[in-house]
A and B are shown apart, each in its own frame.
Chain A
Amino acid sequence: MKKLILVLSTLLLLTGCWDERQFKNIKLVLTLGYDQGENGGIIETVSIPTIQRSSEGPGPESVQVISTDAVTPRDARDKVDQSISNTFDPAKVKVVVIGEDLAKENIYPTLDEFYRNPNNNLNAHLALARGKAEDILNFNSQSPTRISDYISGILEGAVAATHATGENLQLVCAELIEPGEDFSIPMLKIDEEQSVIKFDGMGLFHEDHYTGIDIPADQTTLFMLMQGKKGRVARLTKKVSDKHENEQMNYVTVNVMNQKQKLKIKAEGETVSADLKVDLKVRVVEYPADHLAESATVKELNQKLSEILTKEAEEIIKIMQEANSDIWAIGRQVKAYHPEVHKKLDWIEAYPEIEITPNVDVEILQHGIIN
């Protein structure tokens, strides 16, 4: 027995390590970008931070951004490897940015590699780039943060402020593959004037490609609320009157404290219709026009907000149907609850035609520490 142990340990010592991937020998890639290349290929852009070690903690940091032309993402990786010391490893990738043009094609081939290999990070954020992903990655911001932190910070901020869903690679996968269920991905754009990267709405997807149609950034909060999702804060600023000369007086800003969303699907014969009811309990955080001391004013404001938001919701639904992007997975739900109706319909064609009636109901519960 003891000899056996001895033999075992020597065996292990002698044979060495097959799968060792020394962390220190690896170039970490924290941000990846994919763009449409020539002849159906892709361009992969990687940003590789290298940190010098100093005696007291991490030292100065240099970032290397490399772009390569290749046929497939994996091929691109090999090509990148040829131009850097050591090998690079996307296991800790934080953000994957996909160029607008590439996204308009099927995005699954680009992402396949992420799903197939076990040590990839499926937690990575997914974002679209207005224009080219390469530009975003090459973007030299004045803030000292790393580009990966910068972008993921923007995206996380957007989620917290109820502008975007926290879509990561894994969550997208389900919606990417399942028919009758679509998704949206945050869109990023470079603001040249202020030299910042900006969140620019949500790109709507149909099945596996970007439709080219966005929900604009100022409507995304409502768009999220309509999906029943709320980040840490959901703030809506709406124009409620034209009475005042001072423009600022015409606006009200509310924080959504509590929200309830209900989607009712009716399917009879071959017609499917849906009722979307969104109940918002809000707190007024900015309303210079009135002091809301009387309940009548509050009621009026409730009504007004509800009207405005319902109207806006209608617009959003119109955009979605135009894009044929079934964010609510109405198709899957019809399949789940009304399979016989679903069989009769060609869902892709039916979806833009179905009737979705939104109804947003706003109720002001609090109005800050002054009336």
Chain B
Amino acid sequence: MGFWKRLFFGDHTKLEDRQPNDTKKEPKQPSSAKLSANIDYLMNEFNRTSDLKIRILKKGNAALLYFESLVDQEKVQEAIFKPIELGDVEDISNLPHSKETLNLEEAITTLLRGHAIYMEDGSRKISQFKVTSSFNRSPEEPANEKVVRGSHDGFVENMMININLIRKRIENRDLNVKYFKLGKKTNTNVAVIYLDGVADPEIVQQIETRMKDISADMIHSPGYVEEFIEDQTFSPFPQMLNTERPDRAVANLMEGRVAILTEGSPTTLIAPSTFFMFYQASDDYNMRWYTGTFVRLIRLASFIIAIGLPAFYIAVVGFHFEVIPDDLVIPVKSSINEIAYPPIMEAFVMVVIIELIREAGIRLPQPIGQTIGIVGGLVIGDAVVRAGLVSNLMVIVVALTAIASFVVPSNELSTTLRLLTFPLIILAGTLGFVGIVFGFLFILIHLSRLESFGVPYFSPVSPLRIKDLKDTFIRVPLYKMNERPKDSHAIQTEAVGPSREWKKREKTGKPQTIESGTNQTTGGDQSVSSDSSSE
């Protein structure tokens, strides 16, 4: 990045070390030339914590400070002592890879980041060495967003690796990363990533302002950030997309959206997001487009099923049994004839049972979780019907609803859907179809009212934009998606140029005119380095 900037703008003056967060605003405490004073200051600031290791060197004239718990001892050896032992440099303070400061406060932050600092008596200079130990999981495929085809890596808890994963996919100088330090006490690193020149600067600006407004002690997961910056916290619908998949994040960045990464969590927030984004999975783009469309239609149908089916069934059984077709009347009647409770109670009981099973299954270790699933699903389901507490039709309905709600690629929306079932069940139980219609009407109005960072939430449908429907209900072939969706407010609309000219050429017989270099992949560094945490 810096290289490009220098190349293009001749911006030589700004060449300085940059940090994940701006230290300029932090309080300054000039270091003193007296070593003991410096050490005392640091010790006090850290409340004499036990894991702050102070190694006195040079017979008490110098000290190396670091957090035992944060640094990698081997790295300390490697980076600091080995060069001296080898005789490359005589003095630690002269080590070339150190970063120097005169500010003790800065030293504090670097110490907390896992650096070691070296101070000498008689000099105000503080040398900092990066010797952070990091424990990283490998970027495995996230368990909650599996795909059949497509990339199988996922974000991890280390933000730097995550950014690395993104940058590997977008080799573009316009990819912009902005760091924030949120949480007054936890000082969590948060990164805002967007593609400059594609993302709407207004939205980026808005996200930044909202981020800066956060004043909380602790930001320990993206959920925190989400609730602080989203438009409508009282809406049941998630207004930011959560994903742990780099490819999904990248696809959204390319559409002109903004990704928000948090240190310590693999979950990335995507904003602005729309309702239908929650129904897209990266799988869709790896299939034939017919299949992709089919799968997507099924998913959208699952939305209706998930929130409407139990309500519909209750309305039918409780109010309008005329709508049951003639041949089905007797079977339905026979199945519900001797159930003790009204259907609305049945539905509640079953929905709650399913939620119980689900919740129990998630928290328990895998083998037991499966047992719970079998005991809950099969045994209870069967027994409940045999005991005559719930009709078998209701079991079918509720089970279908649960399955439909799990079809949604996003876990957030899936829980929302299951929650929305309840008011609709109540409405259906009191007013039948009319109640359901009003319920749906209310949800639809709510969806049209919702906005995510100034972007209408229900976007390609309301406001209607027929062009964008081609990646909403259906998925047209990729070369046809030549424009970015309007809902991301991308300032550069064209996404795919004419890519199938060869077909025309085949017909006309014209040779290909090669544009220099545009289509050739620049041979990037393909090896994935696990040590990507270097700043």
Contact = CB atoms under 8 A, between A and B. Distances in A.
Interface in A13-59: 13, 15-17, 19-24, 26, 28, 30, 49-53, 55, 57-59
Contacts of B318: 17, 20-23
The list of the 9 closest CB pairs from A to B, nearest first, reads A51-B334, A58-B334, A23-B321, A91-B322, A23-B317, A24-B336, A12-B430, A17-B430, A20-B318
Contacts of A19: 319, 431-432
B430 A16 contact: yes
A55 B395 CA distance: 14
B329 A28 contact: yes
B423 to A, nearest CB: 7
Q: Most A CB atoms within 10 A — which of B320, B337, B386?
A: B337
Interface residues of B, number: 33
A2 interface: yes
Interface residues on A, range: 20 to 34
B330 A51 contact: yes
Contact of A92 (B322, B335, B423): B322
A358 B372 CA distance: 77
B321 A58 contact: no
Contacts of B338: 24, 53
Contacts of B319: 19-21
Nearest to A24: B336
A119 B321 CA distance: 9
Contacts of B427: 12
B317 A22 contact: yes
A53 B334 contact: yes
Contact of B330 (A12, A20, A58): A58
A121 interface: yes
Contacts of A371: none
28 contacts: A9-B423, A13-B430, A17-B429, A19-B432, A20-B318, A20-B319, A22-B342, A22-B343, A23-B316, A23-B321, A23-B336, A24-B317, A24-B339, A28-B333, A51-B330, A51-B333, A51-B334, A51-B337, A52-B334, A52-B337, A53-B335, A53-B388, A55-B385, A55-B386, A58-B331, A91-B322, A92-B329, A119-B320
B481 interface: no
A77 interface: no
Given A49-B330, A53-B335, A15 B322 contact: no
B426 interface: yes
A94 interface: yes
A94 B326 contact: yes
Nearest to A59: B334
B9 interface: no
Q: Most A CB atoms within 10 A — which of B234, B319, B338?
A: B319
Interface string B298-320: 00000000000000000011111
Contacts, number: 85
A324 B342 CA distance: 54
B89 interface: no
B324 interface: yes
Interface in B414-436: 423, 426-427, 429-432
Nearest to A51: B334
B353 interface: no
A24 B332 CA distance: 9
Contacts of B321: 21, 23, 26, 91-92
Given A17-B318, A57-B335, A94-B326, 5 more contacts: A20-B319, A23-B318, A58-B330, A91-B322, A92-B322
A92 B322 CA distance: 6
A150 B346 CA distance: 34
A55 B385 CA distance: 8
A9 B426 contact: yes
Contacts of A23: 316-318, 321, 332-333, 336
Interface string A81-120: 0000000000110100000000000000000000000010
Contacts of A146: 330
B430 A15 contact: yes
Contacts of A94: 326
Nearest to B316: A23
A92 B326 contact: yes
Interface of B: 234, 316-322, 324, 326, 329-339, 342-343, 385-386, 388, 423, 426-427, 429-432
Chain A contact surface mostly: mixed
Interface string A357-370: 00000000000000
Contact of B337 (A9, A16, A21, A24): A24
A58 B326 CA distance: 16
B317 to A, nearest CB: 5
A108 B199 CA distance: 71
A121 B430 contact: no
A55 B423 CA distance: 31
A58 B327 CA distance: 13
Contacts of A15: 430
Q: Most B CB atoms within 10 A — which of A23, A49, A59, A92?
A: A23
Nearest to A15: B430
B323 to A, nearest CB: 10
Interface string A118-137: 01010100000000000000
A28 B330 CA distance: 9
A289 to B, nearest CB: 44
A207 to B, nearest CB: 30
Contacts of A53: 334-335, 337-338, 388
A28 B328 CA distance: 13
Contacts of B386: 55
Nearest to B344: A17
Contacts of B317: 22-24
Contacts of A49: 330
Given A20-B318, A23-B321, A92-B324, A12 B426 contact: yes
Contacts of A61: 330
Nearest to A93: B326
A94 B329 CA distance: 11
Contact of A13 (B330, B331, B385, B426): B426
A85 B335 CA distance: 18
A92 B426 CA distance: 26
A280 to B, nearest CB: 33
A12 B385 CA distance: 29
B184 to A, nearest CB: 30
Contacts of B333: 23-24, 28, 51
Nearest to A50: B337
A195 B334 CA distance: 29
Contacts of B339: 24
Contacts of A121: 322
Q: Most B CB atoms within 10 A — which of A16, A17, A50?
A: A17
Contacts of B388: 53
Contacts of A13: 426, 430
Contacts of B431: 12, 17, 19
B318 to A, nearest CB: 5
Contact of B322 (A52, A57, A119): A119
A22 B431 CA distance: 13
A127 to B, nearest CB: 16
B93 to A, nearest CB: 62
Contacts of A119: 320, 322
Interface in A216-271: none
B198 to A, nearest CB: 37
A23 B320 CA distance: 8
A19 B330 CA distance: 22
Contacts of B343: 22
A119 B324 CA distance: 12
A241 B335 CA distance: 59
Interface string A258-302: 000000000000000000000000000000000000000000000
Nearest to B329: A92
Contacts of B423: 9
A55 B342 CA distance: 19
B342 A58 contact: no
B165 to A, nearest CB: 40
A12 B343 CA distance: 17
